[in-house]
């Protein structure tokens, strides 16, 4: 592969193995695309996928997976610890080798347009692709989650960048964007109270006023 871009789509399914495998199928054995890793857990009810590839084959593989997820995930029946607003919750593109951030932004717009206009799921551009300062931060876009988005998306300031200003009835909305690499990690706490974990996270996470 000459140009290498990474994509880390997050899907709101971490329990149904049949659905997860169906989503992963378009990402396997693709020319110039490599599925590096995927992880899921039942508590979050979420699957995170990491793949790299040349921009256009990567785009095509991701869109295939999105179509599967939209057809198989119903957020009206979804519950989990992780905040979510869409069957495909977020799709970040990250420049890795011989590609620029600007190319990642362009690709995010291409993918966002197809998801919004052809697949029918409203799209918010975020991070480096954001069209306003309020949309750079994923947590701000996602606030209210799937349930709250039914009314939020009708507000003028939350009109989607692509697609109709109407939440998809089962697949919700999706954030698509470009960003630089980041490091994320999970910590398992031997404690039954979720509020303890929340308090620790607020002290650590920058968005919560932490480190």
- Active-site pick, 40, 82, 168, 191: 82
CB 64 within 8 A of CB 11: no
Give yes or no for a contact between 66 and 88, defined as CB atoms under 8 angstroms apart.
Answer: yes
Distance in angstroms (rounded) separating the CA atoms of residues 129 and 103 = 11
Nearest C-alpha neighbor of 10 from the set 168, 175, 200, 206: 175
Q: Which two three-digit tokens encode residue 129? A: 């692709």
Q: Which conformational region is residue 163 in: left (phi greater than 0), alpha (psi within -120 to 50 degrees), or beta? A: left
Strands 10-11 and 46-53, how do they pair?
antiparallel
Pairing mode of beta strands 123-127, 174-178: parallel
Q: Does the CA dihedral 66-119-45-205 come out positive or negative? A: positive
Closest CA to 47 of 108, 103, 106, 90: 90
191 is catalytic: no
State how far the Cα of 72 lies from the Cα of 61, in Å rounded to an integer: 17
Instruction: Report the catalytic residues.
Output: 82
């Amino acid at each position: 592969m000459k140009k290498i871009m990474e994509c880390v789509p997050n899907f709101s399914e971490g329990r149904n193995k049949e659905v997860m495998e169906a989503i992963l199928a378009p990402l396997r054995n693709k020319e110039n695309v490599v599925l590096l890793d995927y992880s899921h857990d039942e508590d979050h009810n979420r699957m995170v996928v990491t793949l790299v590839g040349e921009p256009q084959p990567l785009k095509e593989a991701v869109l295939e997976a999105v179509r599967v997820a939209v057809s198989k995930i119903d957020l009206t029946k979804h519950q989990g610890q992780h905040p979510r607003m869409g069957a495909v919750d977020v799709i970040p593109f990250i420049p890795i080798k011989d590609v620029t951030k600007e190319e990642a932004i362009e690709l995010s717009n291409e993918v966002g347009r197809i998801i919004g206009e052809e697949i029918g799921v409203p799209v918010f551009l975020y991070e480096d692709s954001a069209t306003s300062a309020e949309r750079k931060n994923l947590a701000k876009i996602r606030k209210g989650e799937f349930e709250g988005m039914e009314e939020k998306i009708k507000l003028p300031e939350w009109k989607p960048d692509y697609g109709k200003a109407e939440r998809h009835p089962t697949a919700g909305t999706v954030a698509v964007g470009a960003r630089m690499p980041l490091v994320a990690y999970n910590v398992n706490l031997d404690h039954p109270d979720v509020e303890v974990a929340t308090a620790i996270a607020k002290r650590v996470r920058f968005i919560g006023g932490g480190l």
